[in-house]
Amino acid sequence: MKYEIPFNKPSVVGKEIDWVLESIAEGHISGDGPFTKRAERKLQDELGIERVLLTTSCTHALEMSAMLLELQPGDEVIVPSFTFVSTANAFVGRGVKPIFVDVRPDTLNLDEKRLEEAISPRCKAIVLVHYAGVACEMDAIMEIADRHGLVVIEDNAHGLYAKYRGKYLGTFGAMATQSFHETKNFTCGEGGALLLQNPELIQRAEIIREKGTNRARFFRGQVDKYTWVDHGSSYVLADLLAAYLSAQLERRETIQGARSRIWQRYMDSLQGWAGERGIAVPTIPEHCEQSYHLFYMLMPSREQQQQLIAHLRTQSILSVFHYLPLHLSPMGLKHGSAPGGCPVTEDISGRLLRLPFYASLSETEQSRVIESILSFRAQV
């Protein structure tokens, strides 16, 4: 079904088409070409991170992080249950057991107060998600990780350019991953990035990303032949896609400006109405600068969530639910465990809905969404 107001719409905001054509004209559409270097350098400079490696997806960047950690079957990693499958699947693929921890009821981020009870001697890492691009409580989490000798990996698929106490998300952990999937603020269709600080990890990551070869060193003239030196796969993003992505990153202010206006208008228009009906809107703690990735509402019940989705559908507006609890999924039950239970995840997962949100959403379209919501009458 085609909706007049979809949930997401990919946008062309600047030189995307010109640069894709330029990449073809220059004869370099495969990986690690000029546009890849341009995007990587831009992100490195802006975020203040040692190395950004563009990848084919955030999922693949997470898989690379699992390889870099040299995790063994029987090792454990902590992940929130309220996340996308890849956050856990990347580790399960290496025989690692995901230990699911519940989220906070306000930000829907990994609950730092529930972390320590989940840490066993086999635990090697905490993989956290900054849900909707609103930061996890990084001071507390980093302190716990340091005390237990655990590596922190930030799945920052939602949170490019968001900050926690003035510091960019993706720069706290030993590794972080980004997504440039069509639904993200900055996109090239499918794409991602791995963010690294440590020189040894950087060197190995270049190899893992290039099918286990030292090809990156060969291209830099550091070795005269390249060969198979480690595990790896094909994780390099095509320069054709990096051209599209570079053009989007170039228009950071335009995209983020539009998204922040849309988010704020949803908030201003819906907060009061929602409050009177026991519907929650996003919580943004004062010390967090969000990325304006999602606008969601938490309905009082699953029935009302379904009713509102159906109501909006009758107006040709698409609103969507989000993650199902991973600890209750067939794979989560088979490979993982949730020692303390995840009651918050189970509660919110069936009540959440996300509203149409993309940089080119016009004021008129957004008014239609808002008016449709304000005219919703729950049948209880």
Ligand X SMILES: Cc1ncc(COP(=O)(O)O)c(C=O)c1O
One of 58, 77, 299, 338 touching ligand X (CB under 6 A): 58
Give 38 or 184: the residue with its C-beta nearer to ligand X: 184
One of 181, 215, 251, 354 touching ligand X (CB under 6 A): 181
> Rounded to 5 degrees, what are φ and ψ at 272?
-65, -50
Give 8 or 307: the residue with its C-beta nearer to ligand X: 8
CA geometry: angle 278, 106, 164, nearest 5 deg: 145
One of 23, 36, 59, 319 touching ligand X (CB under 6 A): 59
Q: Which amino acid is at 234?
A: S
Question: Is residue 209 near ligand X by the rule CB under 6 A?
Answer: no
Q: Which amino acid is at 70?
A: E
Question: Is residue 83 near ligand X by the rule CB under 6 A?
Answer: yes
Pairing of strands 76-80, 123-129: parallel
Give 38 or 293: the residue with its C-beta nearer to ligand X: 293
Give min distance, CB of 375 to ligand X, in A: 31
Give min distance, CB of 276 to ligand X, in A: 31
Pairing of strands 123-129, 163-164: unpaired
One of 65, 81, 87, 372 touching ligand X (CB under 6 A): 87
One of 19, 84, 91, 164 touching ligand X (CB under 6 A): 84
**DSSP output for 198-239:** -HHHHHHHHHHHBTTB-HHHHHTTSSSS--B-S---B-BPBH
Residue recorded with tokens 């379209």: 365
Give min distance, CB of 59 to ligand X, in A: 3
Q: What is the DSSP letter of 325?
A: P
> Would you state the structure tokens that stand for residue 6, as one six-digit string?
């979809």
> Would you state the structure tokens that stand for residue 49, as one six-digit string?
């991170």
Only segment of 22-30, 82-90, 326-334, 339-347 that touches ligand X (CB under 6 A): 82-90
Give min distance, CB of 120 to ligand X, in A: 24
CA distance readout (Å), 91 to 58, 60, 237, 267: 13, 11, 21, 36
Question: Is residue 192 near ligand X by the rule CB under 6 A?
Answer: yes
* Cβ atoms of residues 108 and 348 within 8 Å: yes
Q: Which of residues 308-337 bind ligand X (CB under 6 A)?
A: none
CA geometry: angle 362, 286, 102, nearest 5 deg: 90
One of 86, 185, 291, 366 touching ligand X (CB under 6 A): 86
Only segment of 55-63, 207-215, 255-263, 309-317 that touches ligand X (CB under 6 A): 55-63
Give min distance, CB of 84 to ligand X, in A: 3
Give min distance, CB of 85 to ligand X, in A: 8
Give 83 or 256: the residue with its C-beta nearer to ligand X: 83
Give 203 or 233: the residue with its C-beta nearer to ligand X: 233
Q: Which of residues 98-137 bind ligand X (CB under 6 A)?
A: 129
Chain centroid offset of residue 309 CA? 24
Give min distance, CB of 147 to ligand X, in A: 26
Question: Is residue 179 near ligand X by the rule CB under 6 A?
Answer: yes
Q: Which helix (H) or strand (E) holds 123?
A: strand 123-129
Chain centroid offset of residue 115 CA? 21
CA–CA separation, 169 vs 197, rounded Å?
13
- Within 8 A by CB and 6+ apart from 231, the residues are 67, 208, 212
> Would you state the structure tokens that stand for residue 233, as one six-digit string?
């796969």
Q: Which of residues 138-167 bind ligand X (CB under 6 A)?
A: 155, 157
Burial class (CB in 10 A: 0-12, 13-18, 19+), 373: buried
Give min distance, CB of 87 to ligand X, in A: 5
Q: Give the residues lining the site for ligand X (CB under 6 A).
A: 57-59, 83-84, 86-87, 129, 155, 157, 179, 181, 192
